[in-house]
Chains A and B, each alone.
Chain A
Amino acid sequence: MKTYKLKPISMALLCLTMGMSGLAGANAYIQCPGDGVLGPRDAVPDQTVNDPVTRQPRNIKCMHLSSSEGYITMADGRPQYIFGFADITGIPESAALAEGVLNAHFPGSMIELDEGQEFYLTLSNSGFVIRPDLFDGHTVHFHGFPNAASAYDGVPETSFAINPGASLTYYYNLVEPGTYMYHCHNEAAEHMQMGMLGNLYVHPAQDATGCAGNACPVAIRKGGSDPAAPMGYAYNDGDGATAYDVEAALQLGSFDPKFHDADETVQPLSFADMNDRYAMINGRGYPDTVNPAPLPPPSSGGTILNATPSVHDLGIQSQDETALVTASVGQRILLRVSNLSVAKIFTVTLLGLDMKVIGAGSKIMRGHGTAGGKDISYRTNSVTLGGGEAVDVMVDTTGVAPGTYYLYTSDLNYLSNNHEDFGGMMTEIRIN
């Protein structure tokens, strides 16, 4: 959950934006059991809620995402208009819609969940200001959720999208651990190219229980104190085979700058001519990928809209996920790699470190995707992912020399930030 500081938006601009988006005075509507008891509803439960039948406390997790537009800075310094989500969990309903205006982050906030949780995800639509002609709805598609119900699958053609100024709460009973992703599915070709994408993964119940018959210890992240305990497991493997010490979610993606500029300036959008020229990991091109901190807010230099330069300088750190991975020699690193590019299939390789694919498509790499199936995990030097695919890669650094190792696309022309060479889809795993 993010804590929000007051952003340096002038009151005049704030009133202008709220008025233009028609949101002044509008409230979000959050649905989260146990919330709103001791204070206003803000997607943080104030008290636990018991299951009426078992009388046991329910394992509730709530989150509030806003959806709107904003700006990021590409690795060559170019500001770029985007659509996106922001995590506004903790903001009271009365302030939530305004908080979402121009607050797009790329990627959207990482959603990290536990098997056994009941996940209440409220999506509020804060509308558009840069494009006041757009009245697009938004959705959240929990990509890969097993046995999904259409109403919560986030596909507007088969259910609905939430209109500007309104809120919709999705419900997910989490019973399958693994690496997923989430994105808007409304006008998907446009909204996804524009950046409404994010990492999402579910930790297994085994983290808290260990394996049957003490075959593996409780994980450190769930209070395990066994000296051999890993930080966590990727799956309920039953034997500890997917144990890891360091975990990193790396989402591949790419932007077409002409498409983003066209969307910003109310021009026709060409899907057929989509030509992605910024390849990114977690919303950044190299070397920004290895900046461990959130990137500074987009600057007003070099904007297209010269009329309102302050629009870009909103103090919103819209790129707040690093792609840098650090570990110590001997640690096992779990890389949750997903691809949400709408136009490109990427292959990534890790120079000098051993990659082992232990999961794919949110299932363990065993026969039929079950823990009891035959081991079909494999060692490789590269993984190839189309959009909507994810793999779990285990990197064992036992016996590895300390240093910096590069994870990068072997589509070598994408080691670039548009016209700027030496960049793009590359990050570092630093072993100390």
Chain B
Amino acid sequence: MNTAKNWLCRAAAGVLLGGATLVTPQVQAVVDGITGTLTGNVRAFTLTAEHFNIKLPDGAAIPMWGYNGQYPGPTLIINQGETVQITLTNVSVPLPVSLVFPGHPGVTASGGLAGILTRETCDPATNATCTTGTVTYTFTASQPGTYLYESGSNPELEQEMGLFGTIVVRPAGFDKTVAANRTAYGAGTGTEYDYEYLFVLSEIDPDLHWQVAGGNYATVDNTAYHDTAWLINGRSGPDTMSPAAVPWLPHQPYNALPRTHPGEKVLMRMVGGGRKSHPFHHHGENSVIIAQDGRLFDDPSTPAADADLSRSDYTILTKPGQTYDAIWRWTGRALGWDVYGTDHDISPHPHGTCIYSDQGVLKDGVKGAPLPGAVADDLVDNETGQPAVSGRYAPGDGFHDATWEWCPNHGRSLADLGLVLPQNQDLTLGGFWSGSPLLGASGILPPGEGGLNANNAYVFIWHSHKEKELTVNNIYPMGLLTMMFVEPFKDSAGMPIVIPR
């Protein structure tokens, strides 16, 4: 818990060092963020506005403005129904700053000076004895979901400079330790998930930032905007894949490194944090887009709140200021071959048998012949945890109950399909290639190849499908990209691979 006292001590230390504060986000919450201080039903946060530099992966430093000295601003994690109170102090931004909260009605502000959209801090440059330098904003977070917050002062400049962040409102009854209550929109809404990741997308025009750093913030021409760097959670790939809170990115504490296991559900909180739209393409499988701007795609004419109007897609077009929530899951269903290996390539098979019921007859993958008396590995529908009442694989669903292996393909190798991968000398290998087409297995790689896939996961690139955004300073591949790791449940030594929640 990031208590106010701890934060103030760190803030004091930061001021003494003459720079912005070093943020260490907590990992207790499912997404990195801060939870403020709760007193009764009021959750209070203290935010500053500061200037600092961030780093792009080509080595460039870019001057930024950001809340709490980080880019993007800290993710505020709130529970549905709480009253939120945020106190904003402008420490080192040369213009008045403020906060607006799209999607939350009834925001009141006190302190500071009247601005166009909301009350804002005074400008420390023009008011040396600033007694109105703190503004307090209050609203009630009545609806769960994913929201953006940003400066309402000179927004076309201040948002670009980095003054925005995300608000996550947890549904009433949220409990990350109980599967039925680890949801985006409440128990019983069909929005359960296993892992949760934030993807705040933005762009940077470095020339504009350097003009602002040189003091030209009043005269910079926003109509000549030309973005040449693109980011997820304030970092440009491949920095997106470094750990959170690495010391060499002191003002970019958040990463974007989604990991999951087969069959487990990933909640993607997509946020359009810049001024451009980005078609976000997540390789590997479709997602189900369950909500937009903090509102579930739910048919109000049916009593259950259950995202029954959600749709499935393989690319999510995020737009400026807009948020989406989507659920993604990879199962490896019906690939036609056993992705975990067969007696040809792995002995023993990591899962042993995969005996399923095919219209009442028990079979074990490619062997196919009936297995009377065998113990089935597929006795329930993995989605519900209960036996299925109908369907080809009843009472199962075709998936191994413990491992999510697709049993009808058990034991069928690529060689059985007449397939051989080319020799390494015919290939240019990727850093995330394990050396083996199997999930959880590795192969021999030439010296210097691979090495970025310690758990032999299936790795899928998640990226903007405006491919020019996969560059920084004309270097490819950088920019708006990261990787999703679908990891086996156990590593090659048989030890469970635990992905932190």
What residues make up the interface of A, taking CB atoms closer than 8 Å to B? 29, 31-33, 52-54, 118, 120, 137, 141, 143-144, 146-153, 155-163, 165-169, 171, 173, 175, 185-190, 192-193, 268-272, 274, 341-345, 360-363, 365, 367-370, 373-374, 376, 384-389
Contacts and interface: CB of A to CB of B under 8 A. Distances in A.
B93 interface: no
Contacts, number: 225
Contacts of B299: 374
A158 B461 contact: yes
B470 interface: yes
A373 B311 CA distance: 9
Contacts of A175: 333-334
Given A151-B437, A367-B308, A368-B312, A389 B279 contact: yes
Given A31-B418, A363-B313, A367-B308, A137 B468 contact: no
Interface of B: 226-228, 277-279, 281, 283-286, 288, 299, 307-315, 317, 330-337, 339, 366-368, 414, 416-422, 425-433, 437, 439, 458-461, 465-468, 470-471, 473-474, 476-477, 483
A387 B470 contact: no
14 contacts: A120-B419, A147-B333, A148-B283, A149-B339, A155-B430, A158-B433, A159-B433, A161-B427, A167-B426, A173-B334, A271-B476, A274-B468, A384-B317, A386-B277
A204 B450 CA distance: 38
Given A175-B334, A188-B467, A271 B474 contact: yes
Contacts of B433: 150, 158-160
Main secondary structure of the interface of B (DSSP, over half): loop
A143 B315 CA distance: 10
A188 B463 CA distance: 11
B308 A374 contact: yes
A189 B460 contact: no
A33 B339 CA distance: 20
A144 B314 contact: yes
Contacts of A386: 277-279, 315, 317, 465-466
Contacts of A155: 283, 430, 460-461
Contacts of A190: 476
Contact of B285 (A148, A150, A274, A387): A148
A171 B336 contact: yes
Given A147-B285, A369-B312, A269 B368 contact: no
A347 to B, nearest CB: 11
B1 to A, nearest CB: 37
A186 B284 CA distance: 17
Contact of A153 (B277, B332, B460): B460
Contact of A388 (B307, B417, B459, B465): B465
Interface-central residue, A149, A163, A193, A369, by most chain B CB under 10 Å: A149
B433 to A, nearest CB: 5
A272 B474 contact: yes
Given A120-B418, A368-B310, 11 more contacts: A149-B439, A152-B437, A157-B431, A157-B477, A166-B427, A171-B417, A188-B467, A189-B470, A362-B314, A367-B311, A368-B311
